[in-house]
C-alpha cells in the first residue's frame, strides 16, 4: 500500500452504528413482540375456514374423495363469506369434472327441498354434499342414507378445520391497524410537540371539531348525500385547516406570551370541544354520501387506506426528525432552549410549527374517524389526548423534551392497540381493560427507565 | 503514627470505552490542603465523585481514619463527614440562600420529628457563614436572583455548615472575583486550623501556591506525581499535568493592528450596561475584564442580540447593525462562545456532530434536508483540526470533558467563518493543554483579520492574550489599557475595584 492511510475518521460506519443504536433503543419493540406472542398463545383456537380459499381446498377434497364425474350438492348459508366459498367451490368442482347437481344458498329447509327434488329424479343419486362448516352440520344432512335412500350414500364434506390464534388472523391484525390509525396519526404531531418540551392536550377535542367541520361542509356546502369527490376532499382540507389554525393559536400564545403549553392547550381543548358542540348543535352529522367512507374503510392498496396513510405519515415524520433541519431544530429547542437560541435556531418559529403540525394532524385524525364512522360528532375523540400521550411516552419519548423518535412512537401506539385488542379477544370487561391498560402503561415506562439506567 | 484522615488506595473505575481511573492512590492528612491537578479527562472528577459517593469504584479501598469504608451514596459520604462542593451548582432556584444552605439538614424547632423549620436560626447561621465568605447579599435572597459567584458562595456555605471533616472543592474559584477568592482562602486557612482536610481541585496555579500544602497530579487516570507546594514551581506542575514541556503558556503572535472594525458607542441597558464605548481593530485581541457582575457578559449579550439595548449604536465595518435576536446577529457574522457552555453553549443530549451543525444547518442542508455526508466531512475536519478527543461524532457532548466541550462550541462558530467572535470566559474549567490550544485558535482568528473580543476574569490570561484591555465596573468602562508593555495585574485590578 503506497498511499498514506487515511486519518481515522470516526464517522466511518457511523450511520450503521446509529441504526443499531436506534434499534437497541427500541426496547419497547421487544415488549410489543412479547405481547403479540402472549396474545397469540392465549387466543389459540379452532378455526373454521371460509371464503374463496376454503372453497378451493374443499373442492380438492371432494374431487379426491369421489369418483370422476361425481354428482355433488353444494349447500351454504346466505352469508357473504359462505357465498364466496360456494362460488369458488362450484367453479373448481366443475373444472375438475364433477357435476354440481344443485347449489343451495339459504336454510335447512331449502336443502331438504333440493334433496327431495333430487331423490324424485333418482337414480343416478348423489355422491357428495359439500358446504361450509355450519351448513354441513344441518340435521338434514345427518343421516342421508336413511332419510333419502334413493340418493345412495353420499359423503358430507366440509372445509378442514385447523388451529390458529384468533389474534394472528389477518383480519384481526388489520383490525388492530385500523383501530390505532387515528391515535397513531395524532401521535406523530404529539411526538414533535413533546420533543420540543411541550404538551398538546387539545388533540382529542380537535378530532371532534375537525370531524364536525368536515361533515358540516359536506352537508351544507356540497349537498350532503349528493356530494362529489372534490367536495369531500375540500371538506377534509377545511377540517385539517381548522385544526392547524387551532394549533397556531395555541402555539402562538405559548411563543408570544410564554404561557405554559399545558395551560394554553388545556384552554384550546375546552374551546375546540365547545365549538364542535356549538357547530353541530350537540348532535351527530351523518348526512354524508356512501363514498365518504373511502378514507376510513376503503382498501385500495391491499391494506386499509387509513393504515396506508398512517404509514406514509410515519415515514415522512421519521425522515423529517432524523434528516431534516426541522428535526434538528425541534430536538435542540427541547434539549436546551437557550443554547438553541444562542446558536441561531429559530426557537419561536420551531415551537409554533410543532403546535400547528400537532393541530393539523389531530384534525386529520378527526377526518379519518369521521370517514370510518361516516359521521361527524362532537363526542368523537374524547380522552384521546391521554391515549396519544401514553403512546408517545410508551414509545420512549421523554416528557421533559429533547429526545424521542417516531419509530418509538409507532411502537408505543401499537403496544396500546395490541393490549386493547388482545383483551377484547379474551372477552375481558371494558372496566377491567382500563385498569390493565393503565398498569401496563406504567409498567412499560418503568421497564424502559430501568433498561436505560 | 496515626492513620491519615483519608486514604484512597488502588481506586479503579472503567466507563464503557474508557478506563477513567487505574489504581489511583490519594492520601489526605488532618489540616492539610491538597491540590488535585490534572487536565480535564485526567480523572479528577471521577475520583471526587467516588469519594462523594456519587459513583462506585470497580476496585480499591477508601479508608477514613484508617477504617475501610464503602461509600454507596452521597448520604453515606455526608455521614462520614465528607462534603463535595461541585462545580455544577445544586441549588433550588426559588428558595432563599439560607434555605439552600440548610437544604436537607434543616434546623428544626418545636416537637422533634414534626419538621418545623427554625427559619430565624437558619437565617442567622447561614448569614454568619456567608459573611465569613465575603458575601454581600441578604441570606433571604432567592438563589435564582444571585450571581454565579453568589451561588458558588451558597454552595460552599452548604458544605461548611454540614460540619464536614473532609471537604472537596471542585474549581471553587472559577466563578469568583478576586476579593471573594481571597475571602474563600481565608476560610480555608481557618478550616485547616480546625483540622479539616481539604481537596482543592483547580486549574489556577497561582491559587494553589497561595493556599495549598501539597499537590497530587493525575494524568490519564493514573497518579502522575505529587510534591509539597513549596518545593515545586509553576513549570513543574504544568509539566506533570500534560507530560510535556509547555514552552509557551500564552502563544505570542506578531500583531499589526489594522483599522477599527467593530465600533460600539454609548451602549446601555438598564443598570447592567451603562454607556459603554469601545472599538475592536483588525488583527488584535481585545480583552474586556472586570470583577464578576461588572456587566461584561451583559455587554456581549447586547452585541449578540440576545438582549436589546436601551440606547447606543454598534457598527461593523462602518455599517450600523441592530441585532434583534441571536439569529440576526449570526446572520450579520457574529458568533458567541457563552460563559456557561452547558447551559448556553451546547445541547448536552445531542451528539457532537448535531451540536456542531446547529448554527450551520442552513449551509449544510438542501431544501431542508441535512446533507449527511457533507456534515460528517466538515465535522470530521474540525474534530481533527481542534483535536477534539471523542470516540466518534455521534457521541453525546454530555460525555465529553470540559475542554473538549468548549472546543465543540468553538467549532460551531469556526465553521460559520464569523467576522466577529465574542468569547465569554473561553477557558473557564478547561485544562491547561486545551487552554493553550484555544489560545492558539484565538490568535489565529485575530491574525486572519477577524474581530476578537474576549471577556475574561483570569488576569494572567488577559495580560497574556490581549493587545488592548477594557476594564469594566458596575456596567461602565473604568479603565482602558492600550499599551500592553505598561499593563500589570495591579493596574488592571485597580481599575476594576477602585
pLDDT at A13: 38
Determine the residue among B353, B361, B400 to mutate to test chain A binding: the one whose Cβ has the most chain A Cβ atoms within 10 Å: B361
Between CA B125 and CA B104 the distance in angstroms is: 15
Q: Which H helix or E strand runs over B164? A: none
Contact A331 B347 (CB under 8 A): yes
Average pLDDT of span A357-363:
97
Q: Which residue from B327, B347, B380 is facing A336, i.e. has the nearest CB?
A: B347
What would the grid cell of residue A337 be?
A: 432552549
Per-residue confidence at B245, pLDDT binned at 50, 70, 90? very low
pLDDT in tens, A47-56: 777 777 777 7
User: Mutate which of A7, A321, A343 to test chain B, going by most B C-beta atoms within 10 A?
Assistant: A343
- Domain boundary at A120, A141, A160, which? A160
B238 is a domain residue: yes
Number of A–B residue contacts, CB under 8 Å: 99
pLDDT of residue A10: 36
Residue A292 to residue A372: CA distance in whole angstroms: 9
CB atoms within 10 A of CB B434: 26
Strand, coil or helix: what is A208? helix
- Does residue A206 sit in the same domain as residue A302? yes
Q: What is the pLDDT of residue A87?
A: 77
Q: Do A10 and B327 touch (CB under 8 A)?
A: no
Q: What is the least distance, in Å, from the CA of A26 to any CA of chain B?
A: 18
| Residue of chain A minimizing CA distance to B390 | A10
Helix (H, G, I), strand (E, B) or coil at A383: coil
More confident residue, A78 or B308: B308
Q: Is B327 on the interface with A (CB under 8 A)?
A: yes
Please tell me whether the interface predicted TM-score (ipTM) of this complex is above 0.85. no
User: Distance (Å, rounded) from C-alpha B316 to C-alpha B329?
Assistant: 11
Q: Are residues A308 and A437 in the same domain?
A: yes
DSSP 8-state assignment for residue B21: E
**Percentage of the residues of chain B whose pLDDT score is greater than 90:** 44
Q: What is the CATH number of the domain that holds B478?
A: 3.40.50.300
Any domain includes B254 = no
Domain span including residue A57: 51-160
Highest averaged pLDDT of the listed ranges A135-149, B301-315, B480-494: B301-315
Q: Residue A45 — pLDDT band, cuts 50, 70, 90?
A: confident
Q: Which of residues 469-488 of B touch A (CB under 8 A)?
A: none
Task: Report the distance separating Cα B141 and Cα B138, nearest Å.
Answer: 6
Question: Which residues of chain B have a CB within 8 Å of the CB of A328?
Answer: 354, 357-358, 361, 370
Same domain, B224 and B278: no
pLDDT, residue A1, reads 36
Number of structural domains (chain B) is 2
Q: Residues A369-427: pLDDT tens digits? A: 999 999 999 999 999 999 999 999 888 888 888 888 899 999 999 999 999 899 988 88
Confidence of residue A307 (pLDDT cuts 50, 70, 90): very high
Binding-site residues on chain A for chain B (CB distance < 8 A): 7, 9-11, 14-15, 17-18, 21, 323-326, 328-329, 331-332, 335-336, 338-346, 402-403
Confidence of residue A22 (pLDDT cuts 50, 70, 90): low
Check residues A142 and B468 and name the one with the higher pLDDT: B468
Binning pLDDT at 50, 70 and 90, where does residue A21 land? low
- Which residues of chain A does B353 touch, with a Cβ-Cβ cutoff of 8 Å? 11
What pLDDT score does B255 carry? 65
On average, the pLDDT of chain A sits at 84
Residue-level pLDDT at B39: 65
The reply to whether A18 falls in a domain is no
In a domain, A9, yes or no: no
Q: Determine, yes or no, domain membership for B159.
A: yes
pLDDT at A16: 47
Q: Output B35 or B292, whichever has higher pLDDT.
A: B35
Which of B347, B358, B370 is the closest to A323 by Cβ?
Answer: B370
Select the residue from B301, B304, B327 to test the A interface by mutation, using most A Cβ atoms within 10 A.
Answer: B327
Name the residue facing B358 among A324, A338, A345 (closest C-beta).
Answer: A345
Given the C-alpha cell 406570551, which residue does it identify?
Answer: A257
Same domain for A145 and A198: no
Q: What share of chain A has pLDDT > 70, as a percent?
A: 92
Q: How confident is the model at residue B119 (pLDDT cuts 50, 70, 90)?
A: confident
Using CB atoms, pick whichever of B306, B331, B380 lies closest to residue A9: B380
* pLDDT for residue A20: 52
> Which of A141, A160, A179 delimits the end of a domain?
A160
Are A340 and B347 inside 8 Å of each other by CB?
Answer: yes
Q: What is the CATH number of the domain that holds A60?
A: 3.40.50.2300
Please report whether residue B247 resides in a domain. Answer: no
Is B327 in Cβ contact with A346 (below 8 Å)?
Answer: yes
Write the DSSP string, B93-160.
TTSBHHHHHTTTSPPEESSTTT-EE-HHHHHHHHHHHHHHTT--S-TTSBGGGS-HHHHHHHHHHHHH
Q: Are residues B226 and B308 in the same domain?
A: no
Same domain? For A55 and A88 the reply is: yes
B369–A324 CB contact, under 8 Å: yes
Q: Are residues A136 and A191 in the same domain?
A: no
Among B354, B370, B391, beta carbon nearest to A324: B370
The CA distance from A275 to A279, in Å, is 6
B370 touches chain A (CB under 8 A): yes
Closest-CA distance of chain B to residue A21, Å: 11
Same domain, B272 and B146: no
Indicate if B432 and B305 belong to the same structural domain: yes
Residues of chain A neighbouring B390 (CB-CB closer than 8 A): 10
Task: Give the number of domains in chain A.
Answer: 2
A107 or B53, which is more confident: B53
Which residue of chain B is at minimal alpha-carbon distance from A319? B369
More confident residue, B112 or B384: B384
Which structural domain, as residue segments, surrounds residue B415? 260-497
A246: part of which helix (H) or strand (E)? helix A229-257
B361 & B387 share domain: yes
The verdict on A268 and A408 lying in the same domain is: yes
Provide the pLDDT confidence category of residue A7 given band limits of 50, 70 and 90. very low
Residue B35: in which H helix or E strand, if any? strand B33-37
Q: Is the dihedral of CA B492, B493, B496, B498 positive or negative?
A: negative
* Domain membership flag for residue A13: no
pLDDT bin (cut points 50, 70, 90) of residue B365 is very high
Q: How far is B393 from chain A (nearest CA, A)?
A: 6
User: Which of A11, A15, A339 lies nearest to residue B380, judging by beta carbons?
Assistant: A11
pLDDT digits (tens, 9 = 90+) for A67-81: 767 777 787 777 777
- Picking from A53-57, A310-314, B38-42, B411-415, which range would have the lowest pLDDT averaged per residue? B38-42
The tens digit of pLDDT for each residue in B178-188 reads 788 888 888 89
Identify whether B371 is part of a domain: yes
Answer yes or no: do A302 and A444 share one domain. Answer: yes
pLDDT band of A18, cuts 50, 70, 90: low
The C-alpha angle A20, B395, B223, rounded to 5 degrees, equals 125
Same domain, A146 and A126: yes
Do residues A150 and A186 share a domain?
no
Q: Answer yes or no: do A199 and A218 share one domain.
A: yes
Q: Is residue A43 part of a domain?
A: no
What pLDDT is stored for residue B292 in this prediction? 64
Least Cα separation, residue B484 to chain A (angstroms)? 32
- Which chain A residues touch B372 with a CB distance below 8 Å? 15, 323
Q: Does residue B253 lie within any of the structural domains?
A: no
Question: A325 and A207, same structural domain?
Answer: yes
Q: Is A37 contained in some domain?
A: no
Domain annotation covers residue A8: no
Same domain, B238 and B318: no
Most B-contacting residue of A8, A11, A317, A402 (CB-CB within 10 A), to test interface: A11
Cross-chain residue pair A339–B304, CB shorter than 8 Å: no
Neighbours of A414 (CB within 10 A): 24
Which residues partner with A50 through β-bridges? Answer: none
Over residues B138-164, the pLDDT tens digits come to 888 888 888 777 888 888 888 888 888
**Which pLDDT band, with edges at 50, 70 and 90, does A134 fall under?**
confident
Chain A: closest CA distance from residue B348 (Å): 7
Q: Is a pLDDT exceeding 80 seen at residue B221? A: yes
pLDDT at position A253 is: 97
- Domain assignment present for residue B46? The answer is yes
**pLDDT at A249 > cutoff 80:** yes
Q: What backbone torsions phi and psi does residue A101 show, to the nearest 5 degrees?
A: -80, -25
**What is the tens place of the pLDDT at every residue in B259-282?**
899 999 999 998 889 999 999 999
pLDDT confidence tier of residue B203, bands split at 50, 70 and 90: low
Residue B248 maps to a domain: no
Q: How far is A322 from chain B (nearest CA, A)?
A: 9
Backbone φ and ψ for B309, nearest 5 degrees, come out as: -75, 150
**What residues contact B309, with CB distance under 8 A and at least 6 apart?**
B267, B268, B269, B273, B302
Look at residue A5 and tell me if it is in a domain.
no
Residue A298: which CATH number? 1.10.3470
Q: Does B56 touch chain A (CB under 8 A)?
A: no
Interface test with B, best of A10, A13, A15, A400 (most B CBs within 10 A): A10
CB A239 within 8 A of CB A211: yes
State the smallest CA–CA distance between residue B299 and chain A in angstroms.
15
Question: Does A283 lie in the same domain as A178?
Answer: yes
pLDDT of residue A2: 40
Residues B403 and B428: their CA atoms lie apart, in Å, by 9
Residues B111, B66, single domain; the answer is yes
> B165 and B214 share a domain?
yes
Q: Summarize the confidence of residues B436-446 as an average pLDDT.
A: 89
Task: Please state the rounded mean pLDDT for residues B338-363.
Answer: 92
d(CA A363, CA B314): 47
Amino acid at each position: 500500500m503506497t498511499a498514506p492511510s487515511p486519518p481515522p475518521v470516526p464517522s466511518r460506519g457511523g450511520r450503521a452504528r446509529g441504526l443499531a443504536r436506534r434499534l437497541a433503543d427500541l426496547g419497547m419493540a421487544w415488549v410489543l413482540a412479547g405481547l403479540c406472542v402472549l396474545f397469540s398463545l392465549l387466543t389459540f383456537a379452532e378455526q373454521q375456514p371460509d371464503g374463496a380459499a376454503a372453497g378451493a381446498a374443499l373442492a380438492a377434497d371432494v374431487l379426491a374423495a369421489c369418483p370422476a364425474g361425481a354428482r355433488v350438492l353444494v349447500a351454504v348459508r346466505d352469508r357473504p363469506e359462505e357465498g364466496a366459498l360456494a362460488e369458488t367451490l362450484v367453479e373448481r368442482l366443475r373444472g375438475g369434472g364433477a357435476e354440481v347437481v344443485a347449489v343451495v344458498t339459504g336454510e335447512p329447509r331449502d336443502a331438504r327441498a333440493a334433496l327431495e327434488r333430487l331423490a324424485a329424479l333418482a337414480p343416478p343419486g348423489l355422491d357428495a354434499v359439500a358446504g361450509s362448516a355450519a351448513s354441513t352440520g344441518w340435521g338434514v344432512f345427518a343421516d342421508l342414507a336413511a332419510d333419502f335412500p334413493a340418493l345412495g350414500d353420499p359423503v358430507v364434506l366440509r372445509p378442514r378445520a385447523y388451529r390458529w390464534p384468533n389474534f394472528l388472523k389477518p383480519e384481526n391484525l388489520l383490525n388492530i391497524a385500523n383501530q390505532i390509525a387515528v391515535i397513531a396519526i395524532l401521535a406523530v404531531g404529539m411526538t414533535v410537540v413533546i420533543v420540543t418540551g411541550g404538551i398538546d392536550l387539545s388533540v382529542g377535542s380537535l378530532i371532534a371539531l375537525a370531524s364536525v367541520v368536515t361533515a358540516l361542509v359536506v352537508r351544507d356546502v356540497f349537498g350532503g348525500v349528493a356530494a362529489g369527490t372534490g367536495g369531500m376532499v375540500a371538506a377534509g382540507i377545511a377540517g385539517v385547516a381548522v385544526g392547524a389554525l387551532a394549533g397556531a393559536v395555541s402555539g402562538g400564545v405559548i411563543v408570544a406570551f410564554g404561557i405554559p403549553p399545558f395551560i394554553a392547550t388545556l384552554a384550546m381543548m375546552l374551546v375546540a370541544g365547545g365549538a364542535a358542540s356549538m357547530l353541530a348543535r350537540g348532535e351527530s352529522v351523518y348526512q354524508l354520501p356512501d363514498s365518504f367512507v373511502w378514507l376510513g374503510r376503503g382498501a385500495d392498496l391491499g391494506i386499509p387506506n387509513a393504515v396506508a396513510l398512517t404509514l406514509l405519515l410515519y415515514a415522512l415524520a421519521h425522515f423529517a426528525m432524523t434528516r431534516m433541519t426541522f428535526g434538528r431544530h425541534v430536538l435542540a429547542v427541547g434539549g436546551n432552549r437557550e443554547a438553541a437560541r444562542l446558536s441561531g435556531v429559530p426557537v419561536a418559529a420551531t415551537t409554533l410549527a410543532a403546535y400547528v403540525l400537532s393541530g393539523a394532524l389531530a384534525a386529520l385524525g378527526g377526518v379519518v374517524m369521521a370517514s370510518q364512522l361516516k359521521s361527524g360528532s362532537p363526542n368523537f375523540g374524547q380522552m384521546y389526548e391521554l391515549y396519544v400521550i401514553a403512546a408517545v411516552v410508551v414509545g420512549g419519548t421523554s416528557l421533559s423534551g429533547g429526545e424521542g423518535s417516531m419509530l418509538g412512537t409507532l411502537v408505543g401506539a401499537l403496544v396500546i392497540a395490541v393490549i386493547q385488542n388482545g383483551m377484547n379477544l379474551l372477552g375481558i370487561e371494558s372496566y377491567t381493560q382500563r385498569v390493565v391498560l393503565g398498569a401496563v402503561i406504567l409498567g412499560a415506562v418503568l421497564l424502559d427507565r430501568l433498561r436505560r439506567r | 503514627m496515626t492513620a491519615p484522615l483519608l486514604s484512597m488506595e488502588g481506586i479503579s473505575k472503567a466507563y464503557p470505552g474508557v478506563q477513567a481511573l487505574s489504581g489511583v492512590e490519594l492520601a489526605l492528612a488532618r489540616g492539610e490542603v491538597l491540590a488535585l491537578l490534572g487536565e480535564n479527562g485526567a480523572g479528577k472528577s471521577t475520583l471526587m465523585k467516588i469519594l462523594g459517593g456519587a459513583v462506585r469504584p470497580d476496585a480499591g479501598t477508601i479508608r477514613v481514619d484508617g477504617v475501610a469504608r464503602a461509600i454507596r451514596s452521597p448520604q453515606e459520604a455526608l455521614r462520614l463527614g465528607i462534603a463535595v462542593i461541585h462545580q455544577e451548582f445544586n441549588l433550588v432556584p426559588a428558595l432563599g440562600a439560607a434555605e439552600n444552605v440548610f437544604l436537607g439538614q434543616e434546623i428544626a424547632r418545636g416537637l422533634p420529628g414534626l419538621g418545623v423549620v427554625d427559619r430565624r436560626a437558619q437565617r442567622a447561621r447561614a448569614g454568619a457563614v456567608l459573611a465569613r465568605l465575603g458575601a454581600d447579599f441578604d441570606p433571604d435572597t432567592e438563589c435564582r436572583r444571585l450571581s454565579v459567584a453568589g451561588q458558588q458562595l451558597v454552595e460552599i456555605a452548604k458544605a461548611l455548615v454540614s460540619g464536614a471533616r473532609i471537604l472537596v472543592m471542585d474549581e471553587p474559584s472559577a466563578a469568583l472575583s478576586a476579593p471573594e477568592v481571597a475571602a474563600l482562602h481565608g476560610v480555608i486557612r481557618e478550616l485547616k486550623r480546625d483540622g479539616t482536610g481539604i481537596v482543592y481541585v483547580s486549574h489556577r496555579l497561582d491559587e494553589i501556591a497561595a493556599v495549598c500544602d501539597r499537590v497530587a497530579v493525575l494524568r490519564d487516570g493514573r497518579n502522575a506525581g505529587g510534591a509539597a507546594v513549596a518545593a515545586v514551581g509553576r513549570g513543574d506542575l504544568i509539566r506533570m499535568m500534560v507530560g510535556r514541556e509547555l514552552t509557551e503558556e500564552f502563544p505570542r503572535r506578531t500583531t499589526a493592528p489594522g483599522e477599527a472594525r467593530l465600533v460600539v458607542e454609548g451602549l446601555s441597558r438598564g443598570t447592567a450596561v451603562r454607556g459603554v464605548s469601545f472599538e475592536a481593530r483588525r488583527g488584535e485581541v481585545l480583552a474586556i475584564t472586570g470583577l464578576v457582575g461588572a456587566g461584561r457578559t451583559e455587554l456581549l449579550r447586547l452585541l449578540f442580540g440576545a438582549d436589546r439595548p436601551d440606547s447606543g449604536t454598534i457598527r461593523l465595518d462602518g455599517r450600523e447593525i441592530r441585532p434583534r435576536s441571536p439569529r440576526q446577529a449570526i446572520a450579520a457574522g457574529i458568533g458567541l462562545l457563552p460563559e456557561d457552555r452547558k447551559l448556553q453553549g451546547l445541547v448536552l443530549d445531542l451528539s457532537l456532530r448535531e451540536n456542531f451543525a446547529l448554527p450551520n444547518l442552513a449551509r449544510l442542508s438542501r431544501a431542508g434536508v441535512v446533507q449527511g455526508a457533507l456534515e460528517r466531512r466538515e465535522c470530521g475536519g474540525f474534530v481533527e483540526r481542534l483535536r477534539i478527543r471523542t470516540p466518534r461524532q455521534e457521541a453525546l457532548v454530555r460525555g465529553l470533558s470540559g475542554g473538549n466541550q468548549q472546543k465543540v462550541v468553538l467549532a460551531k462558530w469556526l465553521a460559520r467563518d464569523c467576522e466577529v467572535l465574542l468569547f465569554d470566559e473561553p477557558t473557564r474549567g478547561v485544562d491547561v493543554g486545551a487552554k493553550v490550544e484555544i489560545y492558539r485558535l484565538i490568535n489565529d482568528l485575530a491574525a486572519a483579520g477577524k474581530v476578537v473580543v474576549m471577556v475574561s476574569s483570569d488576569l494572567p490570561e488577559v495580560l497574556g492574550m490581549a493587545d488592548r484591555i477594557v476594564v469594566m465596573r458596575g456596567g461602565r468602562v473604568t479603565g482602558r489599557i492600550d499599551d500592553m508593555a505598561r499593563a500589570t495585574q495591579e493596574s488592571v485590578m485597580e481599575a476594576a475595584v477602585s
